[in-house]
Amino acid sequence: MSDNLPAIPGMNSGGSASSGNGFLALAGRTAKLAASALFLKEGMHLLRSHMKANANAALRLSEMNNQAEVEPQFISMIEDVATHLTAVAEASGEMVNAADSVDTDARGFNNAHDREYRPGYEASNGSGVRQAKPGYYRRTGRRS
């Protein structure tokens, strides 16, 4: 994982907060996923603009070589490079869309998780009484 990611409480290596599916651990992992998606998105935007600039430069070089009456095979090679650079730029745009979707979904999950489980988490931490394992109080649907 990148060192540029923000520090997230409960996500340090070791310790019980980072292991299992506890409230803070799960919230921390989904927050880290959303942050990673944002970093990916930023990197893909940079790659896209860089590849577009390189493709445009290759097309200009191709035109200059054409005017200078350079061998057609070399002009064709330069145009192929421009085509492939454009393809990379387009693919990085698709990666931006995918990263944006991951970010949105991770944030949505985190918000839903927080709404569902924060009240119980706060109540169990504030009571001072040891609580049963998660899922113990859930109804199973069976009644006698």
DSSP symbols for 88-117: HHHHHHHHHHHHHHHHHHHHHHHHHHHHHH
CB 82 within 8 A of CB 55: yes
3 confidence band (pLDDT: 50, 70, 90): low
Cα distance between residue 107 and residue 104, in whole Å: 5
Neighbours of 20 (CB within 10 A): 9
15 confidence band (pLDDT: 50, 70, 90): very low
The fraction of the chain above a pLDDT of 90, given in percent, is 55
pLDDT score, position 116? 85
pLDDT score, position 13? 46
- Mean pLDDT (the chain) is 83
Phi, psi (deg, nearest 5) at residue 10: 80, 10
Res. 74: pLDDT tops 70:
yes
Res. 78: pLDDT tops 50:
yes
* Tokens found for residue 113: 């998780």
Estimate to the nearest angstrom the gap between the alpha carbon of 126 and the chain centroid: 34
pLDDT score, position 11? 47
DSSP symbols for 20-47: TT-HHHHHHHHHHHHHHHHHHHHHHHHH
